[in-house]
A and B are shown apart, each in its own frame.
Chain A
């Protein structure tokens, strides 16, 4: 590495907390966009909101996995340097897994699902995506009656994959969709109840 790495948080306490609170609200209110724009410098190797999420949640205790489209650049060096987290050898070992929905294939079953005794030992997916105006109808904890999941692009078989993920509850993965405007959460407890 000869290039200079992008900076991390200037105010790690406040910036970590602000990022976490937005993520917490996103996961507690599935499908709802929680508006957030990180104050990180914009030259981060990941989109700033995704970079902030990594800096806020990673440390030496956990591992991260990068999908092929993100593994070529300096993302791994950036996360390792600023957080001390290790890169996971496989998707099964990752606490957080970053992928870009526009470039990487999404296969939920590839990631750690947790165990019946410890369903929390699962991967949380950080999916770079964009917000769509229309979406699928969703229901479950955190949603009053019926909510909407408006995300693009999603793979054609996403509904099938998610149904399988939900069928394994309490095992499964949780997804945090990261967009320019903020975070949208999709915890494993959410069911997709209707099409676009």
Chain B
């Protein structure tokens, strides 16, 4: 799909659905979040016309920053064509009338669920994450009052104990997604459930990264060119996931791959999770061993 502008925006709503007072409240929270990288700013999250867990935090952040000149891309696990991505893109096309795209380089705002695009982001772009549980310490310490104090004191030893227990039990750090990061040397932050493969992309990223957790009512941010370090140990350094196979459709060896079951006899294929990246490579003439000649989408391949 190429960029197109939908003009029948719904007049019964304010631009981008949210009322102006809500947008101002979210905007003030975003400014604080940018000033204190990695700190979770509480905000008065609103009910959205979608259930919690479907990206209500990301949608509110996007609605607060979105302007009529923006071009929006929405991805769900890297894909532009899954239910969550399609419906959020349609939501903003309807309530804001903004241009939408699936091409990473054409977008000014990219809302994402659990992936960072493979293509390097640019300084004028904003990446908005949908976050389910923003508190990295929550499963170690359930009390909000305690985790807040732990952040205030930068007391993050417990997180290292958790990673150490991984090593004690499995011989290596077995956390593969939602891998905690240390932002600008101060706050430990939950990167949302992106695969740890994507963690290195957060470091020194040229684009502004905003995180919205609707149910948990938190907004946080990583400014451009900020140091983001995945937690690790000297003798067990952080390692991004590596794949044994290239992408079956485009042959890429440096992208994050999804496993797709192809039949009921144990057949499977590994394809790029970032559909725009994969389609771009195929259009440029890169082919994997299952490439069928036509532009296969993941759904068609199943």
Contacts and interface: CB of A to CB of B under 8 A. Distances in A.
Interface of A: 12-14, 16-18, 20-21, 23-25, 27-29, 56-62, 95, 116-120, 122, 124, 140-144, 169-170, 174, 187-189
Contact of B24 (A25, A56, A116, A187): A56
Query: Chain B interface mostly helix, strand, loop or mixed?
Result: mixed
B25 A61 contact: yes
B152 A27 contact: no
A79 to B, nearest CB: 13
Contact of A117 (B23, B37, B65, B152): B152
B27 A20 contact: yes
Contacts of A143: 225
A122 B31 CA distance: 11
Nearest to B223: A142
A103 B82 CA distance: 57
Given A16-B24, A24-B30, A141-B223, A170 B67 contact: no
A16 B23 contact: yes
A143 B227 CA distance: 10
19 contacts: A14-B67, A16-B23, A24-B34, A24-B208, A28-B208, A56-B24, A59-B21, A60-B21, A61-B21, A61-B25, A95-B28, A117-B152, A118-B42, A122-B32, A143-B225, A144-B224, A187-B34, A187-B223, A189-B35
Given A119-B36, A124-B31, A141 B225 contact: yes
A99 B64 CA distance: 27
A65 B23 CA distance: 22
Contacts of B39: 119-120, 170
A116 B21 CA distance: 28
Interface in B218-242: 221-227
Interface string B9-36: 0000011000011011101111111111
Given A59-B24, A141-B223, A142-B225, A120 B41 contact: yes
A112 B190 CA distance: 28
B148 interface: yes
A189 B187 CA distance: 12
A17 B27 CA distance: 9
A120 B20 contact: no
B149 to A, nearest CB: 7
B191 to A, nearest CB: 16
Contacts of B14: 13
A141 B20 CA distance: 29
Contacts of A119: 36, 39
Interface in B181-196: 184, 186-187
Given A13-B20, A117-B148, A28 B34 contact: yes
Interface residues of B, number: 44
B37 A189 contact: yes
B269 interface: no
A110 B238 CA distance: 43
Contact of A57 (B24, B123, B148): B24
B186 A142 contact: no
B290 interface: no
Contacts of B153: 116
A174 B32 CA distance: 9
Contacts of A188: 35-36
Q: 3 closest A-B pairs (Cβ-Cβ)?
A: A142-B223, A187-B35, A116-B152
Nearest to B15: A13
A189 B65 contact: no
A17 B67 contact: yes
B207 to A, nearest CB: 9
Given A12-B20, A13-B15, A57-B27, A18 B67 contact: yes
B25 A20 contact: no
A20 B23 CA distance: 10
A28 B65 CA distance: 13
For B14, B27, B66, B227, the residue with the greatest tally of chain A CB atoms inside 10 Å of its CB is: B27
A80 to B, nearest CB: 16
B8 interface: no
Contact of A189 (B64, B184, B224): B184
A60 to B, nearest CB: 8
Contacts of A189: 35-37, 184, 223
Contact of A14 (B30, B65, B68, B148): B68
Contacts of A24: 27, 30-31, 34, 65, 208
Contacts of A117: 148-149, 152
A174 B221 CA distance: 15
B65 A20 contact: yes
Nearest to A61: B25
